[in-house]
Chains A and B, each alone.
Chain A
C-alpha cells in the first residue's frame, strides 16, 4: 500500500516539477531569510548574518538535488533526459536518422510480415480440440482409402479414441434465388465430435444419421450461412435442395471452423456419409481417414498397430492395403509448405542481420565523430555506464522509430503477402498480427537496437580523455579495433547479401526453367468453366447428353469462338481420377498390378480447342456415340509403357471388371502428346481419354455410383483476342438452356497455369525482394564506410599526393582497401551459400542448388556493386587539394 502511495506521489512529482521547484525555492528563501534575521538580532552585521545563515543551512544546491531525487523518479528523469537529448541529436542529423530508420523499418517490417505468415501457417495449432492428437491415415500418405478398409481399421484398432472418414461431395444448391455449385464433404457421424468444435447453432449429426435413409441432414459453414441465408437463425429445421434432394439444416458451424484442413479446404457444407452397400467395397478409393489418438498412446504405437492390421488385410485381400501411412494432421497440413516458409524466414532474418550491420557501422562512424562530445561528458563526471546508457537510449529510440515504421510496413506487407500467396498455402487466410507476432516484433526491435548499439557504445565509452581532448577532436590514426570492427561489419554484409542473392538467383533460374516447360497443350486464349446439371431438370439421364451437345454447338456458333469442347476434369485444375484397366489378350494381372491410367472423358473438339496434338490416329468425333464401338485416345506415356515398341492403334482395353461379361471394349484410336496432369513439374503418367458421348456414366444412365458423381462438364472455349471477356456471353448461353444449371470455376487456361506455378513465383518474388534489399544495404554499407575512411584519411592522402602520388595511385589505394573487404565477404558468402542452398533443393526445378552459373554471376554482381560504391569516395579522394588537406587539421 505504502509503496504504491510513494510511487504515485513521486509520479505526480514528475509532472508538477516546475511548480514544486518554485515552492521549494520559496520555502528555502524563507528559511534563510529567517535565519539571517535571527542572526542580525543576535548582533551580527547583515553581511555576516547572511553568510552565517548559509553556513547553518548547508548547501542549497545539494538540498535541492536531494529534494528532487526524493521527489520524482530519478531513473525516469534520467531516461527522459537521455531521450530528449537523443531526440535532439537525431534531429541534428536528419539524414543519418532517416537512413537508419528506413533500414530498420525494412528489416523489422519484412521479418514481422514473414513471421506472421509462419505463425499462422506453421506455429498456431490447428483450430480443433486438442489438435496435436489428430492424425490422418491415407494411402501413400496422401491418397484416398476404400470404405471396407476404413471399417476394418476402425473396428480392429485400439490406439484410437475415434476414427472418422470424409468423402468429397460438391452438390448444386438449387430452389433458391440462383443455383450454385458448392463444395462440401460427406462425413461419418463420428467425425465432428472427434474434432471437438461445437456448432454455432444447432447440433452435430446424431448417432445413426449416417445410415442410408437417415442421411438427409446438412450442417452449413458460417460463410455459406451468411451468403445464402443472410445469417438467418431460423434456417435450422428448414429444408434445402442439394443435387435435387431435400436436406434438413441441423447446424451452422462457427466462423473459424474449417474442415478438411489439407484437402477440400473450401468445403462449405457437411452431410452424413451413408456407405450403404459400399461397406464391402475395397476397390473404389475415395475416403480420407481421420483419427484421434487415445490418451497415453504414442504415435509410433498407432503406426505399428495400423501396420499390423494392414499387413493382415493385405494377405487376406491382396493389393488393397499397401503403403498405408499414418501422419499427424498438423504435419499433413503444413508439411509441404514448411521448408519454403522456413527458407523465407531465414532469408528475411539475413536481411535483418544486414540491416543491423549497416546501422551498427553508421552509429560507429557517428560515434567517432562524437568522440569529443563524449570526452567532454566524461570529463564533466559522466561515468562509463552513464555514457553507455546514453548510447543505448539513442539506439533504442532509433529502434523504436524503426520498429513502429516496421509495424506499419508489416501490416501492409501481410496484406500483400496474403494477396500474393498461392491459394494452396493452408491457413494463409488466418494471417494476422496477433500477440505472438507482436512479441516477435518487440523482441526483434529491442535485440536489434541493442545489437547494433552495444558495440559502438562500448567502444565510444572507452574514450581516452587526454588524447581526445588534446587532439582537438581530430584523430588521424583511428583506433585500429574500431576499424577492424567496421571492416568486419562490411565484410559480413557482403557475405550475407551473397547468400541471399544466390537464393534469389537460384529461384529466378528455376522459375525461368519452369516457364519453358511444355504443358503439351497451348493454354493461351482458352476459357474454361464447369457447368453442372445436378439439381436441374437436365440431370435427367435422357437429357444430359442432348444438353451437352446442343450447348457445345451453340457455343461454337458464338462470334469470335474458334473451337469448343468438353471434358470431365481439366488438367492442372480439376480432380484427377486414376483407374485400373485390362488389356485385351494379356494374362490377368495379379491383384494391385493392373495397368493404371488417369481417366478422362472428352467430347469432340477438346483436343482441337486445347491444341493438344495427336501424334497418330484420329480425333474423337460426333460419330463415336452410344451406338458406335468404344473409342479411346491414350497418351504417349501409356503407349510406351503398355505397348513398348508396338503400335497401340487398334488395340483394345476395358475398364470393366470380370463380373461384366462380355466387357465393354474400347479401341485405341489415337496417341496424344503427353499433357501436364495435376502439377506443372511432374512427368506425365499414363492417361486415357474416353469418348464422352458413348460413356454411360457421363450421360447419367449407367445407374452406377460413378454416374452420380459425374453430373457436370468442363467447357473449354478457344477464341481470338480477349477470351476472359467471353465469360458473360458464355454464362448467359448456358442459362438460356436452363436457369438451374450451376456455373463455377470460370477461369482462363492461362490463369490455371499461373495457379499451378503460384508457389514458385511467390517464393521467387519474395526472395528477389529480400535479395534486392540486401544488395542495396550492402552497397550503402560499403559506400558509407569507404567515404568515411576517405574523409578520415584526407590528411594522409594530401601528404601522399604532395609527395608525388598520382591520382590513379590514390584511386587504387582506396579501391584496393574496399575490394579486400568485399572479396573477403564474398568468399565467406560463397562457402556459406553452398551449404545453405541445399535447403532449397525441393523448391528448385531444372537447376542444382550449387549451380555454378548462379554462384559466379552473383559474386560478380556483388563485386561490381562494391566497385561502383567505392568509385565515388575514391574519386573524391583524388580531388583533394594537397595544401587544403595538409591544413585540414
Chain B
C-alpha cells in the first residue's frame, strides 16, 4: 500500500489549481502543471492532460476565467486567472480541507496509539 506517488482526487486537483493561481496570478496550463510538479517535488503523479478538463470545470463554475494572451516565448496561450468567487471558494475549500485533515490526523493518531 506504499503508493507515495498517489493519484489525485478530483476535488483535490481543483483545490490545488485554485491555490496555484492564487499564488502566481494568471498562468497558462503548462505553467500550472510545472508549478504543481515543482511544489509537490514530484511526489504527486499528475497526469497533465487531466488539468484541462479540470480548468474547464472551474471555469464553468465561474471560479476561474480565461483569456488568450502571449506566452514568454511569444506563443499564443490561454491564461487562466482566479475570479472573485474563485477566491471565496478557495478560502472555503481550504478551510474545510484543513478541518478534514486535522480530523483525519487525530483519528489516525489515536488509532495508532491504541
| In the assembled complex, B96 has its CB within 8 A of some CB on chain A | no
Most A CB contacts (10 A, CB to CB) among B50, B53, B59, B78 go to B53
**Interface range for A:** 20 to 34
| In the assembled complex, A67 has its CB within 8 A of some CB on chain B | yes
> Which of A6, A30, A63, A71 contacts B50, CB < 8 Å?
A63
Known: A5-B62, A6-B61, A10-B60. A27 touches B29 (CB 8 A): yes
Q: Which one of A51-59, A247-255, A427-435 contacts B?
A: A51-59
CB-based contact B62/A57 at 8 Å: no
Known: A5-B61, A5-B62, A9-B60. A30 touches B77 (CB 8 A): yes
**Interface range for B:** 20 to 34
CB-based contact B48/A58 at 8 Å: yes
Residues of B contacting A59 with CB < 8 Å?
49
| In the assembled complex, A316 has its CB within 8 A of some CB on chain B | no
CB-based contact A27/B48 at 8 Å: no
CB-based contact B52/A58 at 8 Å: no
Q: Which of A25-81 contact B (CB under 8 A)?
A: 26-28, 30-31, 33-35, 38, 56-60, 62-63, 66-67, 69-71
> Which of B28, B33, B53 contacts A70, CB < 8 Å?
B53
CB-based contact A30/B48 at 8 Å: no
| In the assembled complex, B75 has its CB within 8 A of some CB on chain A | yes
A355 to chain B, nearest CB (A): 45
Residues of A contacting B28 with CB < 8 Å?
27, 30
| In the assembled complex, A24 has its CB within 8 A of some CB on chain B | yes
Known: A6-B60, A6-B61, A30-B30. A23 touches B52 (CB 8 A): no
Q: Which of B21-53 contact A (CB under 8 A)?
A: 28-30, 33-34, 47-50, 52-53
CB-based contact A67/B52 at 8 Å: yes
Residue of B nearest to A67 (CB): B53
CB-based contact B30/A34 at 8 Å: yes
Residues of B contacting A2 with CB < 8 Å?
61-62
Residues of B contacting A24 with CB < 8 Å?
52
CB-based contact A58/B60 at 8 Å: no
CB-based contact B48/A70 at 8 Å: no
- Contact string, A207-236, partner B, CB cutoff 8 A, digits 1/0? 000000000000000000000000000000
CB-based contact A66/B30 at 8 Å: no
Residues of B contacting A63 with CB < 8 Å?
49-50, 52-53
- Contact string, A538-557, partner B, CB cutoff 8 A, digits 1/0? 00000000000000000000
CB-based contact A57/B49 at 8 Å: yes
Known: A60-B49, A63-B52, A71-B56. A31 touches B30 (CB 8 A): yes
| In the assembled complex, B110 has its CB within 8 A of some CB on chain A | no
B10 to chain A, nearest CB (A): 11
A666 to chain B, nearest CB (A): 97
CB-based contact B48/A57 at 8 Å: yes
CB-based contact A27/B53 at 8 Å: no
CA distance A38 to B48 in the complex (A): 15
Residues of A contacting B71 with CB < 8 Å?
30
Residues of B contacting A56 with CB < 8 Å?
48
| In the assembled complex, B106 has its CB within 8 A of some CB on chain A | no
Q: Which of B44-92 contact A (CB under 8 A)?
A: 47-50, 52-53, 56-57, 59-62, 71, 75-78
Residues of B contacting A62 with CB < 8 Å?
49
CB-based contact A31/B61 at 8 Å: no
Residues of B contacting A30 with CB < 8 Å?
28-30, 71, 75-77
Most B CB contacts (10 A, CB to CB) among A57, A59, A60 go to A57
A50 to chain B, nearest CB (A): 15
Q: Which of A256-295 contact B (CB under 8 A)?
A: none
Most A CB contacts (10 A, CB to CB) among B33, B34, B47, B56 go to B56
CB-based contact A66/B60 at 8 Å: no
CB-based contact B78/A23 at 8 Å: yes
Residue of B nearest to A56 (CB): B48
CB-based contact B56/A58 at 8 Å: no
- Contact string, B89-114, partner A, CB cutoff 8 A, digits 1/0? 00000000000000000000000000
CA distance A330 to B34 in the complex (A): 80
Residues of A contacting B59 with CB < 8 Å?
9
Residues of A contacting B52 with CB < 8 Å?
24, 27-28, 63, 66-67
Residues of B contacting A31 with CB < 8 Å?
29-30, 33, 48
Most B CB contacts (10 A, CB to CB) among A5, A23, A30, A38 go to A30
A247 to chain B, nearest CB (A): 72
Residue of B nearest to A28 (CB): B52
Residue of B nearest to A2 (CB): B61
B33 to chain A, nearest CB (A): 7
CB-based contact A70/B29 at 8 Å: no
CB-based contact B76/A26 at 8 Å: yes
B59 to chain A, nearest CB (A): 8
CA distance A38 to B30 in the complex (A): 11
Q: Which of A328-380 contact B (CB under 8 A)?
A: none
B62 to chain A, nearest CB (A): 6
CA distance A247 to B28 in the complex (A): 89
> Which of A23, A26, A28, A58 contacts B47, CB < 8 Å?
A58
A694 to chain B, nearest CB (A): 97
Most B CB contacts (10 A, CB to CB) among A24, A30, A31, A70 go to A31
CA distance A500 to B25 in the complex (A): 78
A-B contact pairs, 16 of them (CB 8 A): A2-B62, A5-B61, A5-B62, A6-B60, A27-B28, A28-B49, A30-B76, A31-B29, A57-B49, A58-B48, A63-B49, A63-B53, A66-B53, A67-B52, A69-B53, A70-B60
The interface of chain B, by Cβ under 8 A from chain A, is 28-30, 33-34, 47-50, 52-53, 56-57, 59-62, 71, 75-78
Q: List 7 additional contacts besides A9-B60, A31-B29; criterion CB under 8 Å.
A: A5-B61, A6-B60, A31-B33, A33-B75, A58-B50, A62-B49, A71-B56
The 7 closest A-B pairs by CB, nearest first: A63-B49, A58-B49, A58-B47, A66-B53, A34-B30, A9-B60, A31-B30
